[in-house]
Structure 1
Amino acid sequence: MSNHVVTVTEELVQPILDEMKLELVDVVFEQEGSNWYLRVFIDKPGGVDIEECGQVSEQLSEKLDEKDPIDIAYFLEVASPGAERPLKTEQDFEKYVGEYVYMKLYEPIDGEKEFEGTLVSFEDNLAVVEIKIKTRKKKLEIPFNKIAKANLAVSFN
């Protein structure tokens, strides 16, 4: 059911975002405690404000009511992805070269499945990330299809 809800929501929200010149970052349909949340993350260069989130929420809510793809009670949230924006597409990786990122992989590289470091480059479906191991820096080449999850991260160095 979750995938269907995400797909339908993406189809309904995209024309609204296109009209407002906003970008769809992610759609998540998840349960927290006994409540279900449909979360739509949107962005634009310089970030989105609360008014834009409100406008998208209002218009999307109307379309969801018309289409009615969700047969349980849920809360709709439209928000900015914030400082830890997810990186989902190859275009996201290209756009955020030079940024500090967190990555979780499907299978280990050098015995590790999770890395934080600077995204040095992204070309030909290959992410190059510079990580720090104690005092030395090391560059890892990570194929795009091995990345289970990635997002911008906050560096505390």
Structure 2
Amino acid sequence: MGLESDINSLVKSVDLELYDTSIVREGEDTIYRVSVLSTETENGKRKGVSLDSCVDLTHLISPLLDVTPPISGDYRLEVGSPGIERKISSIKQFAMCIGEKVSINLKAVDKIRDKIRGVLTKVEDSKIFVEIDGEEISIDYGEISKARTYFEW
């Protein structure tokens, strides 16, 4: 098993779902970021992830990274929620965002629209379904250049 697979097993053990892992630089710091979502829903939306859950998960992941570091050199482990507005970069992540508002940029500019905003209703194979003003449209995953969830304040 690979590192991400091992981390995924630890995340599942505390009843959370792995959204993403990434390595980011902030100033002089290198951060290995593990983003997780709650598996629980309320009113059709995922519940937030508690700080206690993030701390517990950090204590589980840290010894694993001592044995199998994600990168060479110094880094800091950061475990948290990916946030209410987050990048969507895989079919798996689209499936995790069903029921949320999404903004999708399309690769092809010869279409009627090059940007779509609506509610993600379902994912089937490589098709993403979004409801816009009561009408559901399908988008092939390969047509998407950039996507993210968004929140209307």
TM-score scaled by structure 2?
A: 0.74
Pick the aligned partner of 2:20 from 16, 19, 26.
26
1:128 Cα deviation from its structure 2 partner: 3.4
Q: Which residue identity is paired with 1:25? A: Y
Partner Cα distance (2:84, 2:71) in 1: 30
1:27 Cα deviation from its structure 2 partner: 0.7
Count of residues paired in the alignment: 146
Matched, 1:63 2:64: yes
Secondary structure, in 3 states, of the residue corresponding to 1:84? coil
Structure 2 CA distance for partners of 1:69 and 1:120, relative to 1, 3 Å: closer
Over residues 67-94 of structure 1, what are the superposed CA-to-partner deviations in whole Å (9 max), with x where a residue is unaligned? Answer: 2342122121100122124444445434
2:52 corresponds in structure 1 to 51
Give the unaligned 5+ runs of structure 1.
Answer: 1-6
Structure 2 CA distance for partners of 1:108 and 1:31, relative to 1, 3 Å: farther
1:114 Cα deviation from its structure 2 partner: 3.8
2:43 corresponds in structure 1 to none
Matched, 1:143 2:140: yes
Equivalent residue runs for 1:2-151 within 5 Å:
8-44=2-38, 45=40, 46-94=47-95, 96-108=97-109, 110=111, 113-131=114-132, 140-151=137-148
Q: Retained in 2: the 8 A contact 1:12–1:64?
A: no
Over residues 111-136 of structure 1, what are the superposed CA-to-partner deviations in whole Å (9 max), with x where a residue is unaligned? Answer: 7544322335444522233557xxxx
Structure 2 CA distance for partners of 1:88 and 1:74, relative to 1, 3 Å: same
2:44 corresponds in structure 1 to none
Partner Cα distance (2:150, 2:110) in 1: 20
Q: What fraction of aligned residue pairs are identical, expressed as a percent?
A: 29
Q: Retained in 1: the 8 A contact 2:19–2:93?
A: no
RMSD between aligned residues: 3.0
Q: Retained in 2: the 8 A contact 1:9–1:27?
A: no
Of 79-88 and 48-57, more deviation after overlay is shown by 79-88
Q: Retained in 1: the 8 A contact 2:119–2:132?
A: yes
Partner Cα distance (1:49, 1:25) in 2: 15
